[in-house]
Amino acid sequence: MSARDAAFDPRRLAALIRKEGRQIVRDPSTFLIAFVLPLILLFLFGYAVSLDTSRTRIALVVEDGSASALGLAAAYRNSPYFEVTTVRAMAPVRALMVDGRARGIVVIPEGFGEGVERGRPPPIQIITDGSQPNTAGFVANYAEGVRQSWALAEGLGPAAAAADPPIALSPRFWFNPGLRSRYFLVPGSIAIVMTMIGTLLTALVVAREWERGTMEAMMATPISMAEFIASKVIPYFLLALASMGLCTAIAVYVFGVPFRGSILALLAIASAFLMPALGLGLFISASTKNQFVASQIALLTAFLPTFLLSGFIFEISSMPLPIRLITYAVPARYLIPSLQTVFLAGDYWGLILPNIATMVGFGFLFFFLSFRATRRSLD
């Protein structure tokens, strides 16, 4: 590459960006990926997919006929978390559990009322379905929570309410008290959308230039590779930010997701994430030069990790150690907590800045690799 070619000419860059812009506007598939797909994802995560366990079906076995027992039973029936089937004896309940019509059983034992009157309410029994650990944990905690609230309301006192243990535990979920999964799924889907545009779309458009032979013609003009790369990065960076803006607006105004941080922080986080996303997209397309292969690799290296290994759906802390170690190499792992912080908590720069720094670091790495792979040569 000669000194003249290496020169960065803003006019040539402007011409290339104008061309790219026209292609984006005219290519319906670009529009689909940038604006329609995010909408589909958001509505999917917003309405259809839910990790919430609200209104879990349980069976309530009331073996005691006392006023206290009936009061506690009513407390369960009124709880927004449970859909209750009340029975008098254990026998029919077992069948409900086996065929999955009930996810848990709460037993108010005989003599419950007497115990309450004596000031020492006997423990209730909570049986859960261990084949579904998430739900089981939820049922156990919330069933206990309902009993505690009832005991407090009845004036049974903390000591009594705790049914022995001297220390009362009263769970409170901060930032998302209703534990609504929508609140973290919707910001998380922004990560998916930015991955799609940053990596998949970018990989496709560069590979397309190779496939259609326009790359060859471009290389025969005096443009430099830096101009060419910039002409791909800038439009898709802006496109991804626009798409991110659309997602945020829908998240906040349609799904009522709180937005407690600042737009500035959101922009900083998104921009930092787009560096590795775009860099990876460029690297993939420069190394494969084929749209089909590029899309497969982009799905495997960007989309799936963002989906599975970023903490978006599966808690990273509950993954086995080897997989947890792999997540450190997934740029989206640093994006998801930052986004959730900005949406649900606010601008906690102490948490956001290290994440931004890591993403920018990955960005430099990928850009370095793609510059090395994009040589002005057909060899």
- Residue 172 interacting with other proteins (CB under 8 A): no
- Residue 223 interacting with other proteins (CB under 8 A): yes
Q: For residues 282 and 280, what is the distance between their CA atoms, to the nearest angstrom? A: 5
Cβ closest to other proteins, residue 29 vs residue 50: 29
- Residue 10 interacting with other proteins (CB under 8 A): no
- Residue 221 interacting with other proteins (CB under 8 A): yes
Least distance from other proteins to the Cβ atom of residue 282, Å: 19
Name which position in 39, 96, 218, 308 contacts other proteins (CB under 8 A).
218
- Residue 85 interacting with other proteins (CB under 8 A): no
Looking at 214-222, 248-256, 285-293, 360-368, which segment touches other proteins (CB under 8 A)? 214-222
- Residue 119 interacting with other proteins (CB under 8 A): no
- Is residue 188 within 8 Å of 257, Cβ to Cβ? no
Burial class of residue 176, CB neighbours in 10 A (0-12, 13-18, 19+): middle
> Cα angle at 365 between 362 and 369, to 5 degrees?
140
- Residue 217 interacting with other proteins (CB under 8 A): yes
Name which position in 48, 91, 220, 321 contacts other proteins (CB under 8 A).
220
For CA atoms 281, 286, 291, 295, the dihedral sign is: negative
User: 99-104: long-range contacts at Cβ-Cβ below 8 A with a sequence spacing of 24 or more?
Assistant: 100/129, 101/57, 102/57, 102/58, 102/59, 103/56, 103/57, 103/58, 103/128, 103/129, 103/132, 103/135, 103/136, 103/139, 104/56, 104/58, 104/59, 104/128, 104/129, 104/135, 104/136, 104/139, 104/140, 104/143
Looking at 8-16, 43-51, 156-164, 354-362, which segment touches other proteins (CB under 8 A)? 8-16
3-state secondary structure of 310: coil
Least distance from other proteins to the Cβ atom of residue 141, Å: 56
Least distance from other proteins to the Cβ atom of residue 214, Å: 5
User: Residues binding other proteins: what is the number (CB under 8 A)?
Assistant: 31
Least distance from other proteins to the Cβ atom of residue 13, Å: 10
- Is residue 183 within 8 Å of 258, Cβ to Cβ? yes
Looking at 12-20, 35-43, 122-130, 174-182, which segment touches other proteins (CB under 8 A)? 12-20
3-state secondary structure of 274: helix
Name which position in 119, 123, 137, 222 contacts other proteins (CB under 8 A).
222
Binding site for other proteins (CB under 8 A): 1-2, 4-5, 9, 11-12, 14-16, 18-19, 22-23, 26-27, 212-214, 216-223, 376-379
